[in-house]
Amino acid sequence: MAGSEIDGRTTLADLGLERMASTKKPFLGQVLAGREALTDGGRPRLAGFVPVDGTARIRPGSILQPHGGPHEGHGLGHISSTTYSPELGHYIALGLVAGGMEAEGQVVDACYPVKGEIVPVRITSPHFVDPEGERLRG
């Protein structure tokens, strides 16, 4: 995670990093983090995304809309970064979606209106390779 996800609109909780904030001393953003609008469970939160069709490309900046439509307005969130994963053999993406990991397993449409593309994507964990850390400790 870098840059695109940390855009001035996200909080530590949105990115799953709230455990890294000190509970013993003040930190930058502490007062704002407790505001009602920033603690709403429906806020867009970090999640991973994989294309339903493994050959499809997910574009950064795609707007996440309900699968099958309607595709209007600001949608459910957006894709912040993408790359091709040689390890997995398909594109992977990070993005912010309403509810975050509570929506894991659901399919949404990643709409890229500049090129008229709609790619169905599945919401997954943002840990794409070795989520349990078995290879790391192997």
For residue range 1-32, list pLDDT tens digits in order: 456 666 667 777 777 777 777 778 887 777 77
Query: Residue 31 has what pLDDT?
Result: 76
Give the pLDDT of residue 83.
Answer: 95
Predicted pLDDT at 89: 93
pTM exceeding the 0.85 threshold for the entire prediction? no
Q: What is the DSSP letter of 12?
A: T
- Residue 20's identity, in one-letter code, is M
The angle at the Cα of 105, spanning 90 to 59, to the nearest 5 degrees, equals 40
The residue type found at 93 is A
| DSSP code string of 14-37 | TTT-GGGS-SSS--TTHHHHTSGG
* Residues in the chain, overall count: 138
| Residues 69 and 121 sit within 8 Å (Cβ to Cβ) | no
